Structure 1
Amino acid sequence: MDALASIVSSCRRHLNLDFLWGTVSRGRTISMPRSRRKRTRSRDSSYDDDYRHKRRRNDYYDDDHYDSRHSRSRLSSERRHRERRHRHRERSYSRSRSLSPSHHSRSHHYGESDHSSRYRSDSRRHRRRHRHHRRNRRSYSSGSSREQPESSERAPSVNDDDDGHLIYHQGDVLQARYEVVQTLGEGTFGKVVECKDRQSPNERVALKIIKNVEKYREAAKLEINVLEKLREKDPAGKHLCVRMLDWFDYHGHMCLAFDMLGLSVFDFLKDNNYVPYPLEQVRHISYQLVYAVNFLHENQLTHTDLKPENILFLNSEFEVSYNQKKRRDERRVKSTDIRLIDFGSATFDHEHHSTIVSTRHYRAPEVILELGWSQPCDVWSIGCIMFELYTGYTLFQTHDNKEHLAMMERILGSLPYRMAKKTKKQKYFYHGRFDWEEKSSAGRYVRDNCKPLRRYIKDPDNEEHRQLFDVIGKMLEYDPSNRVNLKQSLRHAFFRKYYEEELLKEPENSQSNGDRERSHSLSR
């Protein structure tokens, strides 16, 4: 017994069983010695996984590679190595960004992704080659200076900026003929420049210089083809479409020369604080627009991008009068003779028809619903333009397809069931009816800012105002097969004055060669 008692005493002393028993009896957690602790997964593995994912994203360190068998010194050295490598990557990327100040604009125009740009910039050899390329072949800053030639006859070096625009200066001569005077405007396609024509020293032309970018060059070639066909059909330009005088390829830039024109109908409206045009001017501008587009339709052509920006005054000189009621000066254009421009999107009937055409605010419902389109989509755009000339603001002020359709229903009534069932855009409809939540914020916006078309008439008792909205309503017919065509529109009561004048002038026009600049029946 003495021997057994000594063995038990020895075990209790070495294994500390009293401490173990007392701890368990008091409900405490047992803390095993470090060397005997069992490695287990956390109780909330999803949280740990998320946390590890965030760590990997932030410092490229992966906790899954951790092993308790690794010594603390080895783990810390690996972590320091990873952190140094991460800092090196950040410095490399920062240097590459400093070498490419216009990175964002190039990505937007050329379709490059941000990741691909970073990857290429991480290569030091690529950066050296890029700097050499910029220094020796191309100027990447529109503000970069180059010495002007002592003689304007000498051809200057041809440089482009980041976006592909031609870099030019006043006095430069293109194609040994067109001397740059000033920039008139700039768009995604390129720039429009006022030039002196050295073959006709007293003549000024508007030279449209297309970007040195493949997709814009191809679009320009299509526009040239359309303009040449129109010139064949109407050499005198009496159908009010802008005339192309010349075209040429200048070191990758397609250049198109046109007659000098005035401001666009939209720019004049904007500069006049969006004061709408008087009814008589609305009538004349609209009649000319219908007349010009009808000429396109008769030649199996659809413009597809009709909007106030593409209607230019022949001369935008104006008179100023003071509005006592609104306490401001208001402009009134002296002559409302116009020309239709921008045939870059014009499409012949036999050509491929893109799914989406037209600028948003002037886009027909059949285009939004992807039901196919033809000449009637131009008629819809003209109806929207006439409304804008009369009121001073856009009829469908939106940038969303569903909201656009909701505005149409609010202004013009319900969409036809046949169009709703036929469209592939079934997400906009439920059982053939337009699915729209009127109590949402967007629904309230449409309800507060749109009203039935006839309620926009300023003077309901005036016959001419009612006639205007009658023709607009017929142009804004949902179903393109039921929409009025432009030949019928020309004979509408609202345009009777100009139509009758045209009939009276017809015998005279048939005997004369026509006016080079304007139609006898349309110019006022």
Structure 2
Amino acid sequence: MGKKNAGWDSRKGGEESKTDRDSETKSGSFMHRTQRPTLETSESSKDSTLQTKEISPEADAVAAADGLKTSSRRDVPEDDEDGHLNYHAGLLMKQRYQVVSTLGAGAFGKVVECIDRQTDERVAVKIGKKLESFCEVARSEISVLEEMNSLDDDNRFACVRMLDWFQHEGHVCIVLELLGRSTFDFLPFSVQQIRLVAFQVFRAVSFLHRNKVTHTDLKPENILFVRSDCDPDRNHQTKSPSSWSVKVVDFGSATFDHQHHQSLVSTRHYRAPEVILGLGWDQSCDVWSLGCVLMEYYLGRTLFPSHDSREHLAMMEKVLGPVPPGLLKRARNQHLVKNWDGPSSSDKLIRSHCQPLKTYMRTSGEDERQLFELLAVMLEYDVSRRITLEEALWHRFFNPLRNKRSSANS
């Protein structure tokens, strides 16, 4: 997972905080999962994850050499009032993972950087809250990551790798590869940079879709750079990661096709119209979310900075044109469309933040035209007409990268 402040910060500029936005979809939303692992399904975890053991003198000596304080079960404080594990630098979990620092926090729990004492490598450990609904989310994430990692043995697709999982003091903990900062921290991007990131993310999420999984919570904070040390040739005002390799993270909301589909998914700003209208959803909701993500990369701000569903629909109409009447007629959430007359001309927020999609183009260059051509078919109201990610990967916007891959393989 990401390094400090990578993908766990609150939003700036009056938008919803990450914690606020996550709580919309994650708190208590996964009680109807039909499949989830139990805490006995991982052979690597059976022997030592169901109880917290005393820290050995050897571990104390190792930690002392690193300048870290260790603790045993008897001096670990109680959880805080929100259900987070109280911990400190030097805490040893599973007699293996020693806490170094906090990477971030969210509605689900906290992420800490640890030293893996078996391999001497740095890892990220996602520590869920000790509440049953959050344990359900963690078990679901483990199930998805086990499946995806096993199907991608050679790490060809840009999904975060799960290395281990265990239970500590009643908290489900997921050990993940340590990644860099989130793409949100480096906004905005050039069109060429958008192409590099989008191609990797589209391949990763298309891989999920082929294996009957929908991510449901795609946003810049959940796309992390593999490394995010800044290019030394750039100053602070134009900071840029030294490598543009990225990975998709946070599979706590991911849903298999056969599982129960919650009616409300995705963080608000990236929520597809079919979700808002209560029409049901499928993998195409990820395509809509990624369309919003790409526009955020381009603009440096969210495309739809809405505060409620009715305002959100009004913003969509300002940017994309009228919602098809057939969708409004079939909407289960009729309170949103009753007496619907579209965006109000007096709505200052909509007028100041939203404009027709193509008017956002800064230049008339071919690359830019291709990007907005792709965005238009990703941000299509009707899911039957919305492009799939498999199709999107063959869009001409990605021709330079496909040609480069073909040359490298020839």
TM over 0.5: yes
**In the alignment, which residue of structure 1 is the partner of 2:223?**
311
Aligned residue for 1:450? Answer: 354
Give the superposition deviation at 1:110.
9.8
Native 8 Å contact 1:321 1:331 kept in 2 = no
Q: Give the one of 187, 208, 220 matched to 1:296.
A: 208
Structure 1 residue 499: deviation in Å? 1.8
State the match for 2:244 in structure 1: 336
Residue of structure 1 equivalent to 2:401:
498
- Measured on the aligned residues, the alpha-carbon RMSD in Å equals 2.3
CA distance in 1, matches of 2:349, 2:81: 41
Q: 1:265 maps to which residue?
A: 183
The Cα shift of 1:504 comes to 4.2
Q: Which runs of 5+ in 2 are unaligned?
A: 1-25, 29-58, 64-69
What TM-score, normalized by structure 1, do the two folds share? 0.63
Matches within 5 A, 1:73-472: 155-157=72-74, 158=76, 159-201=78-120, 203-269=121-187, 276-319=188-231, 329-429=237-337, 434-436=340-342, 438-440=344-346, 443-460=347-364, 462-472=365-375
Change (3 A) 1:379 1:150: closer
Q: Secondary structure at the match of 2:149?
A: helix
> Is the 2:180–2:226 Cα contact (8 Å) retained in structure 1?
yes
Distance 2:400 2:184 in 1: 25
Which residue is 1:26 aligned to?
Answer: none
CA contact (8 A) 1:320 1:330 kept: no
Q: TM-score normalised to the size of structure 2?
A: 0.80
- Given that 2:203 and 2:393 are in contact with CA atoms closer than 8 Å, whether structure 1 keeps it comes out as yes
Quote the offset at 1:500 in angstroms.
Answer: 2.4
Instruction: Give the alignment partner of residue 483 of structure 1, picking from 368, 386, 389.
Output: 386
Q: Indicate conservation of the 8 Å contact 1:320/1:332, yes or no.
A: no
1:7-46 to structure 2, matched below 5 A, reads none
Cα 1:168/1:385, change in 2 over 3 Å: same
Which one-letter code corresponds to 1:195 in the other structure?
A: C
The structure with the largest alpha-carbon Rg is 1
Q: How many residues align?
A: 347
CA contact (8 A) 1:296 1:303 kept: yes
Q: Following the alignment from structure 2 to structure 1, what is the Cα–Cα distance between the partners of residues 343 and 245?
A: 45
**AA partner of residue 179 (structure 1):** Q
On the 8 A contact 1:321/1:329 being kept in 2, the answer is no
Say if 1:413 and 1:299 are closer, same or farther in 2 by CA, change over 3 A. same
8 Å CA contact 2:27, 2:107 repeated in 1: no
Q: Would the aligned equivalents of 1:183 and 1:193 in 2 still touch at CA under 8 Å?
A: yes
For 1:432-474, what per-residue CA distance to the aligned partner results, in whole angstroms no more than 9, with x for missing partners? xx3246244xx233123211100000102x0100000000111
Aligned to 2:12: none
Match for residue 27 of structure 1?
A: none
C-alpha contact 2:146 2:162 (8 A) present in aligned 1:
yes
Return closer, same or farther for 1:155/1:340 CA change in 2, 3 Å cut-off: same
Tell whether the 8 Å contact from 2:112 to 2:126 is kept in structure 1 after alignment: yes
Residues 232-270 of structure 1 show CA distances to partners (whole Å, capped at 9, x for unaligned) of 10122210100000000112111111111100001233x
Question: Does the 8 A contact of 1:197 with 1:204 survive in 2?
Answer: yes
Q: CA deviation at 1:502?
A: 3.3
Counterpart contact for 2:317–2:342, Cα < 8 Å: no
AA aligned opposite 2:290: I
Q: Is the 8 A contact 1:396 1:404 kept in 2?
A: yes
Q: Deviations over 1:286-331 (max 9, x none)?
A: 11111110000000000000000000000111136779xxxx8321
**Relative to 1, partners in 2 of residues 1:505 and 1:300: Cα closer, same or farther, differing over 3 Å?**
farther
Counterpart-to-counterpart distance in 1, 2:79 and 2:368: 51
Deviation at 1:480, TM superposition (A): 0.6
Distance 2:274 2:360 in 1: 24
Paired amino acid for 1:465: E
1:46-57 equivalence runs, <5 A: none
Superposition deviation, residue 154 in structure 1: 7.0
Task: Name the amino acid aligned to 2:381.
Answer: Y
Q: Distance between the aligned counterparts of 1:337 and 1:439, measured in 2?
A: 43
Which amino acid in the other structure matches residue 279 of structure 1?
V
Letter in 2 for 1:346: A
In structure 1, runs of 5+ residues without a counterpart are 1-108, 112-148, 270-275, 508-524
**1:362·1:380 contact (CA, 8 Å) conserved in 2?**
yes
Change (3 A) 1:500 1:183: same
Is contact 1:160-1:167 (8 Å) kept?
yes
Query: CA separation in 2, counterparts of 1:150 and 1:349?
Result: 47
Give distance in 2, aligned partners of 1:422 and 1:439.
Answer: 26
Distance 1:480 1:196, change over 3 A: same
Determine what percentage of the aligned residue pairs are the same residue.
48
Partners in 2 of 1:504 and 1:373 — Cα distance? Answer: 38
Does 1 or 2 have the higher relative contact order (CA < 8 Å, sep 6+)?
A: 2
SS in 1 for 2:358: helix
Partner amino acid for 1:448?
S
